[in-house]
Amino acid sequence: MHTDPLSAQFAALADPTRRAILARLSEGETSVNDLAAPFAMSLPAISRHLKVLESAGLVSRSRTAQWRPAKLEPLAMKGVADWIDQYRHFWESSFDRLDAYLKSIQSGSDDGSRH
Amino acid sequence: MHTDPLSAQFAALADPTRRAILARLSEGETSVNDLAAPFAMSLPAISRHLKVLESAGLVSRSRTAQWRPAKLEPLAMKGVADWIDQYRHFWESSFDRLDAYLKSIQSGSDDGSRH
DNA sequence: AGCATATTTAACATCCATGTTAAATACAAG
DNA sequence: CTTGTATTTAACATGGATGTTAAATATGCT
């Protein structure tokens, strides 16, 4: 099971329906019914997708009467972005610079067989 | 089933073992045996994790004699980063500005500024 | 050829994810 | 308090993900 937040967040993002929900929520808080409308999928299915997003911290819920609108929680997404930024220089450097970087690390100290 | 690249990439990243493998590969190309060493996991399991990373495009393989070293493929990770960057302004803005942004989108042309 | 090393595939077990439909719950209003 | 609307939970089916061990494959060496 996924106990670490990053795994939960990546897993939550690994589904097109959930990513579409997030895109929709980036335009504002929305009820489950409205969120479900564009999808050829039952309401309980959307409800469960929201639960996954909520467990990952990517979304929060509130209550107004019988509605439980979902709202984007961008800080969780920032956690994901921060992890990926570790690798940013790998694609932002020119290939020559990347190559040089890799070589400088490899020839630094050890044979690379352990942590 | 995950047919779209983004889903495959996120799914591949949703596992701590695979993220650890990527971290290791960020220090340079490495054989399967060396990659497996730090983990309390059988060699076939690591081999399958590599296959997942490779299918997602995050890693490529080559051959030297009986070794099939894995190498980081940062461009796939860039695809993921680009998707997330859609949401960057949600956490990089101040809360006031974020609030204003959300309101401006929801109410169309209303200026949405308050406080 | 025959053996050693590195890696993958096969066969299997188990658990998790995702979807469905039907019933249950939460709240508002008549 | 009964009804209507919104949402969740229950019960179930199914497929996919992840791990294991044993066998197969690929390559190099002597």
Instruction: Quote the strand ranges of B1-115, DSSP E.
Output: 59-61, 70-72
Mean pLDDT on A45-67:
96
Q: In the predicted model, is pLDDT for residue A67 greater than 80?
A: yes
Q: Which fold has domain A5-79?
A: Arc Repressor Mutant, subunit A (1.10.10)
When CB atoms are compared, the residue of A15, A72, A88 closest to B81 is A88
* pLDDT 10s digits, B61-102: 999 989 999 999 999 999 999 999 999 989 887 565 656 666
Range B5-106 classified under CATH 3.40.630.40: no
Domain ranges of chain A: 5-79
Amino acid of residue B22: L
Q: What is the pLDDT of residues B29-68, one digit of tens each?
A: 999 999 999 999 999 999 999 999 999 999 999 999 899 9
pLDDT at A106 over 70: no
Q: Which of A27, A83, A106 minimises the CB distance to B27?
A: A106
Candidates B87, B95, B104: best to mutate against A (most CBs of A within 10 A) is B87
CA dihedral A101, B14, A81, A100 (to 10 degrees): 10
Residues from B in contact with A at Cβ < 8 Å: 2, 4, 6-8, 10-11, 13-16, 19, 22-24, 26-28, 30, 34, 37-38, 72, 74-75, 77-78, 80-81, 83-88, 90-91, 98, 102, 105-106
What local confidence, expressed as pLDDT, does residue B105 receive?
62
Query: B85 to each of A19, A24, A61, B63, how far by Cα in Å?
Result: 13, 16, 24, 35
CA-based nearest distance B69→chain A, Å: 12
Q: Which residues contact A85 (CB under 8 A, 6 or more apart)?
A: B81
Band the pLDDT of A103: cuts 50, 70, 90. low
The helix (H) or strand (E) run that includes residue A71 is strand A70-72
pLDDT digits (tens, 9 = 90+) for A71-88: 999 999 999 999 999 999
Residue B5 has pLDDT above 60, yes or no: yes
pLDDT of B113 over the 90 cut: no
Interface size A-B, in CB pairs within 8 Å, comes to 98
Q: What is the pLDDT of residue B98?
A: 59
